[in-house]
Structure 1
Amino acid sequence: MDDYDRLYELYDRFDTERLRDYRVFVDLFPPLSSTVALDRWEEASEALADRRAEIERGIEDGERLAPIAARADREAAFTALDLRGKYGRAVNALVLDVDETLRSAGDTDNEIPRETLHLLREFVERGVPLVICTGQTLENVKGFLVQGLGNELVHSGDVSVVYEAGAGVFTPGHGTETKRLLYDDLSPDTRGVVDDVRSRVLREAPERVRRGCHLQGNEFNVTLKPNAETGSDTAAARIDEALVHLLDLVGESVADRVDLPDDTTAGDDTAGVAAGPATARAFFADADPEIADALDRESAARAETVPPAAADLLAELEVALYHADAAELAVSDLDKAAGVEAALSVLGVSDPFVVVMGDSKSDRRAMEWATDNDAGLAAAPTHASSGVLDHVRETDELLFPPGEAAELLGTVWALNCLVDESFAVDD
C-alpha cells in the first residue's frame, strides 16, 4: 500500500473533520482559571488524543499520517502528496506577505487570525523560519509581530522582516547582520534622486496635496498617503494629484543629473512643462497603464519621447500608484525578491525551498524568483491581483480563500510531514 492508498483510507474511514475541530479548540483555547472552561478543555484534549490514537492503530503508518489529518483536510493532504511527487522536498522557510494575505481588511477585520499565528509558531518550533515580506515600515511590522507572535519568537533568530518591499531586512538576534540596509548599495545618482524627492515632497507640494496628504514614515521609500478615507473619491483625487507632483519631482532631480535635449518637450501639449517632469511622466506612463490613466485624469501633459540617458536613470526607479490609497517612489532593484534573498542568507537557509504567499505585484517578483531558481512554491488568496493569480495557476494552483492563510499552511504542513517523518514528531 502506498501513501495515496493510505491517505484515501484515512479520510474515508475516520471523521478527520471532527479531529481538526478538536485540534483547533485545544490549540486556540488553552485552559483558563474557570473550572468549567478547564473541564471543557481537558475533555477536548482527551477526545483529540483518543481520535489520534484510533488513527494510529487503525491504518498502516498511522503514527506518521495522524498529524496530517489533524491539520489538513482531504484536499490539502492530496495536494501535499502531489507536491511531494513533483518536488520531493520539504519547505524550509515561509515567505509571507501580510496585508490581504495573512490578514484581510474585509474577512479578518485586519487581524491575523489566531489559527494562522499558532501555525506559524509551530513551523518555527520545527525549524522552519519566517520571512515576513511587506511594503510596510519596519516599526509597523515589528509592532504587530510582537503582539501576534510574542517577543520571544520574534527575537529568536528565526524570524526576518523584509520591509518597505525590499529596502531593508531586519533579523533580530544576528549581531551585526540584524539590520541590513539594502539601499546603502545603490549608486549615488539613484539614491540621490530618492533623497531629493523626500526632502521636497511636502515642502514644495501644491496646496491641495500638502493639505490632503501625509508622508508615510518610511525609512527609505517615499510614500504619500491621503488624509481622506482610503478608497473614497476625495482620496482618489488627492492621490492622483500627489502622483503628478511625485513624478515631477523625480523628473527635476533626474534633469539635475542628466543632460536632456532642448526638444524634449516638443509638441503643443507640453507647453509650459519643464523637460524633466515631462520626461518622468512619459517614462512611467509608458511603464504602467494605471499611471497613464491618472495623468490623463489630471490632464498632465508628458513628453513625446524619453531620451536614452534619462531612461537609464529612470529605469532604476519605480513609481507606483495605488488607487485612492498611495503614490510611492521606490527603487527597482530593491524589491521583495532581493529582500528575500538577503533574509534567507542571514537566516542561514543556504538551499532554500520556500513557499511565497502574497497578493500583489511586488509579491509576484518573489514568486518568480522562487520559480526561476527552483527554490519553492507560490500561493495566493483568490482575490489577489491578476498577475499573481496567473503565476500561481501556471505553477501549482495553490489558492486559498481571503483570510484563510491557515488553510494553505495546512497543505505545507502535510507536505513536510510526508517528506520528513520527524517533522511532526512532537505534534
Structure 2
Amino acid sequence: MERYDLVYRLYDEYDTETLREYQEFVDVFPAVDSRVALEHWQDATEELQDRKDEIRGDFAAGETFAEVASRADRDQAFTALDLEAKYGRAVNVLVLDVDETLRSAGGTDNEIPRETLHVLTEFHEAGVPIVICTGQTLENVKGFAIQGLGSEIVHSGNLSIVYEAGTGVFTPGHGAETKQLLYEDLDEEIRTVFDAVRSRILPEAPEELRRGCHLQGNEFNVTLKPNYETGSSNAREVIDEGLVYLIDLLADAVGSTVGTTDAPEGESVVDWTRAFYAAQDPEIRAVLEGEGAYPDLEADDVPSALASILERIDVAYYEADAAEIGSLELNKIVGVERALEVLGVDDPFALVMGDSKSDLRVMEWVDENDAGIAAAPEHSSQDTFQHVLETDELVFDRGKSVDVLRTVYALNRLVRLD
C-alpha cells in the first residue's frame, strides 16, 4: 500500500487526537509530590502504551506510525510526507531563532512553551544537533537554554549558540573550539569604527533618548533597546529617534576613521550615510522620513571612500524593539557555518526557523545549497514570510513553533521507512 494510503488509514481509523492528548500529558506532566497525581500520570502512561500497541500491531512499520500519530496531527503528517517526497532526507540539524520564533511576547509571554522544549529534547535524544541562532547576547541565551533544556543538553557537545547575529559562536564541550570570537577576525579599520560608536553612543545621546533606552550588553554589535515595553508606542518613538542618532553617530565615526571629506559643498557625511541606508531598507527610509531626517540624495552617488566602509556595516531596525549596527562580514550565515563545522555536521539538511531579515539570509543560504528547509511565524518580516511561502509554506501561528517541530519529527520518522 502506498505511504499516503497508510497515513490516511492511520488518521481515519484511529483516535489520533486522543492519542496525542495522552502523549502530551505524559510528556509535560509537571513534577509534583503527590501520590494521587503520580497515579493519574501512571494510568495515562499505561493508556498511551495500549493505544500505541494497537497501532504497532496493525501496521508493518507499527512503531513508526505509532510515534507519528502520537506527535503529529493529520495536516502535519501529510506535510511531512510531502517533504519526504520532495527531499528524501531527514533533518539532521536544527537552526533556531529565539525571539518571536521559539517564544513570543504576544503569544507565549516571552517564555518558550514546555511542549516546544520537550520536542527539542526529543530531537537531542535522537542525535540531532541544535544550533540556537540569535541576535541576543551569549549570557542571555545560555541562561534560558540551561533553564529550559537543562545543563546536560547545553553541555552535551551537541548544541551550539550563534550569538549577536553571528559575531561569536559558543559550543560547550569542544575544547579550544568552545568559544570563537569571530569579530576578532575583522580588520582594524572596522573594529575602530565600532569601538568609536560604542564608546560615544550613550554619553553623547540627547537626554530624552538616553533616559528612554539602554545599550544591550553585546560583545561587538551596538544595539539600542527601549526602556519601555517592546511594541509599545513609547518604545517605537524612542527606537525611531535612536535609529537616526545611531546612523548619524556611525557616519561621524566612519568619516573620522577614513577621512571622508569628498562630499560636495552643502552635503555632509551624515547626509550621505542616511541616504545609503535609506536605499538599503525601506523601513529605515520610512523612519528617516518620519523623523524629518531623510536627505534627497541618490545613494549611487555616495562618495566611494565612504561607501566602501558602509557596504561592510549593517544597520538594522526592528520596529519598537531595537536599532543596531553590526558587521556584514559577521552574520548568522557565518556563525552557522562555523557552528556546523565545530559540531561535525558535514552534509547539513537543516530546519531553519526565524522571523527576521537576518534569519532570511540563513534560509536563502540553505535553499541555494540544497541544505535544508525554512519555517517562519505568520508575523515575520515580509521578505522572510514571502520566502517561506515560495519554498515549502511552513508558516506557523504566533507562539506555535512546536507545530513545525512536530512536522519535522514526523518527517524524520517517515524517512526511515525507505
How does the TM-score come out when normalised to structure 2? 0.95
Cα deviation digits, residues 97-133 of structure 1 (max 9, x gap): 1111111111111111111101101101110010011
Instruction: Provide the residue aligned with 1:137 in structure 2.
Output: 137
Instruction: Provide the residue aligned with 2:388 in structure 1.
Output: 392
Cα deviation digits, residues 164-198 of structure 1 (max 9, x gap): 11111111111111111111111221222111100
Q: 1-side partners of 2:197 and 2:261: how far apart?
A: 23
Cα 1:262–1:82 shift into 2, 3 Å = closer
Matches within 5 A, 1:281-320: 281-300=274-293, 302=295, 304=297, 305-320=301-316
Q: 1-side partners of 2:415 and 2:229: how far apart?
A: 48
Per the alignment, in what secondary structure is the counterpart of residue 346 of structure 1? Answer: helix
Per the alignment, in what secondary structure is the counterpart of residue 242 of structure 2? Answer: helix
Matches within 5 A, 1:22-421: 22-29=22-29, 32-264=32-264, 266=266, 270=267, 275-300=268-293, 302=295, 304=297, 305-420=301-416
Give 5+ residue unaligned stretches, structure 2: none
Q: 2-side partners of 1:103 and 1:310: how far apart?
A: 39
Q: What percentage of aligned pairs have identical amino acids? A: 60
Amino acid at match of 2:258: V
Verify the 8 A CA contact 1:202 1:210 in the aligned structure 2.
yes
Amino acid at match of 2:406: G
Per the alignment, in what secondary structure is the counterpart of residue 95 of structure 1? Answer: strand
Per the alignment, in what secondary structure is the counterpart of residue 132 of structure 1? Answer: strand
Per the alignment, in what secondary structure is the counterpart of residue 257 of structure 1? Answer: helix
Cα 1:183–1:264 shift into 2, 3 Å = farther
Instruction: Provide the residue aligned with 2:17 in structure 1.
Output: 17
Verify the 8 A CA contact 1:265 1:303 in the aligned structure 2.
no
- TM-superposed deviation, 1:262: 4.3
Verify the 8 A CA contact 2:262 2:303 in the aligned structure 1.
no
Cα 1:31–1:228 shift into 2, 3 Å = closer
Cα 1:169–1:296 shift into 2, 3 Å = same
Per the alignment, in what secondary structure is the counterpart of residue 180 of structure 1? Answer: strand
Verify the 8 A CA contact 1:382 1:401 in the aligned structure 2.
yes
Verify the 8 A CA contact 1:177 1:346 in the aligned structure 2.
yes
Verify the 8 A CA contact 1:265 1:278 in the aligned structure 2.
no
Amino acid at match of 1:355: L
- TM-superposed deviation, 1:310: 1.0
- TM-superposed deviation, 1:245: 1.8
- TM-superposed deviation, 1:265: 5.0
199-208 vs 347-356, greater mean Cα deviation: 199-208
- TM-superposed deviation, 1:395: 0.7
Amino acid at match of 1:33: D
How does the TM-score come out when normalised to structure 1? 0.93
Give 5+ residue unaligned stretches, structure 1: 423-427
Verify the 8 A CA contact 2:162 2:336 in the aligned structure 1.
yes
Cα 1:298–1:383 shift into 2, 3 Å = closer
Q: Which runs of 4+ in 1 moved over 4 A?
A: none
Verify the 8 A CA contact 1:103 1:113 in the aligned structure 2.
yes
Cα 1:329–1:25 shift into 2, 3 Å = same
Per the alignment, in what secondary structure is the counterpart of residue 365 of structure 2? Answer: helix
Alignment RMSD:
1.7
